[in-house]
Amino acid sequence: MNPDAVEEKQEEGNILVWLTGFGLLMAMIGIFIYVPTERTEGVIQRIMYFHVPCAWLSFFAFFVVFICSILFLWKKDREWDIYAHASAGIGVVFCSLVLITGPIWARPIWGAWWVWDARLTSTLILWLIYVAYLMLRAQSDAGSMRARYAAVLGIVGFLNIPFIHFSVLWWRTFHPQPKVITNEGIGKGMDPSMLATLGLSLFAFTLLYFLLMGERVRQEKLKDEIDRLKREKLYSS
Amino acid sequence: MDNLGFLFAANVCVWGGIVFYVYTLKQRNRALEKDLDLLKETLSKER
């Protein structure tokens, strides 16, 4: 890559850092200052403004794994495998945050940290599938077979997400019903200030995803370059 | 203002988790860049 292109890419990265930082700051102001306290749940309902964005980010990350895995199996291009691996790591981190913040909200509202209902259990299964995906990548030797097995797991794992989404509609669950996309329309089940705060938080977390993705992809490419040079060194000696 | 402790705990988990993840990512990338530079230097010396 020529120096001008590197500089341009760094500048783009800096803009994204500032934009994400600003977005997260505005979301925090919205969550703790702007949005009114919910009448029935009280102050604890504010957890929703980062619990839902964490869930959105993890689902989006797993969707990227799904698409990139299909593209990798089709095109056999290492680039797609890098994107899938990078996105899976981010997805697992944010899915973990969903599984931590959910019980913190549930304890005072339900009186229990965890219940084995459809939404919670299917989310835990999703997390376990992608932890297995990362373990598979970490344990087996580098090579196209590892990437192929991981791609298949990445595709199969994503099939759980529609199940998670519809679980609260198909079964009677403890988990709250959807508030943003309802039968009456988008955002009809929420106060406009709450919807705006949630929207801002979702936007900021989406920017955060792209920022983290940039770093993770860079990490994978650095590892590849190191491996290539090590092989070169081995053959030359 | 009941349950403020739970809200605080959830916040610490989310923001602490994000900051820790970004920090470890940056550290790992820095270490890899260092390794890459060292490897390039060794290879150029050998040639």
Domain definitions of chain A by residue range: 51-236
First CA to last CA across chain A, in angstroms?
Answer: 28
At position A228, the amino acid (one-letter code) is R
Partners of A218 on chain B (C-beta within 8 Å) are 29
For chain B, give me the number of helices (H) and strands (E)?
1, 0
Under 8 Å between Cβ of B13 and A85: no
With CB atoms and an 8 Å threshold, state whether A43 touches B28: no
Q: What is the value of ipTM here, to two decimals?
A: 0.91
Q: Return the bridge partners of A182, or none.
A: A185
Q: What's the rounded Cα separation, in Å, for the pair A221 and A66?
A: 20
Q: What is the mean pLDDT of residues A24-50?
A: 92
DSSP letter at A30 equals I
* 3-class secondary-structure state, position A181: strand
Partners of A229 on chain B (C-beta within 8 Å) are 36, 39-40, 43
Find which of A23-32, A140-149, A168-177, B1-10 is predicted with most confidence, using mean pLDDT. Answer: A23-32
Which of B13, B25, B26 is opposite residue A100, by nearest beta carbon? Answer: B13
pLDDT score at B42: 87
A104 phi and psi, to 5 degrees? -65, -35
pLDDT score at A129: 97
Q: What's the rounded Cα separation, in Å, for the pair A224 and A63?
A: 24
Residue B16 touches chain A, beta carbons under 8 Å: no
With CB atoms and an 8 Å threshold, state whether B6 touches A54: no
Q: What is the mean pLDDT of residues A128-149?
A: 86
Q: Return the bridge partners of A42, or none.
A: A38
The pTM of this model reads 0.91
Q: Which of residues 26-65 of A touch B (CB under 8 A)?
A: 42-44, 46-47, 50-51, 54
Under 8 Å between Cβ of A34 and A200: no
Interface test with chain B among A41, A96, A226, by most B beta carbons within 10 Å: A226
Q: Which ranges constitute the DSSP H helices of chain A?
A: 3-29, 48-75, 78-110, 118-139, 144-158, 160-170, 192-236
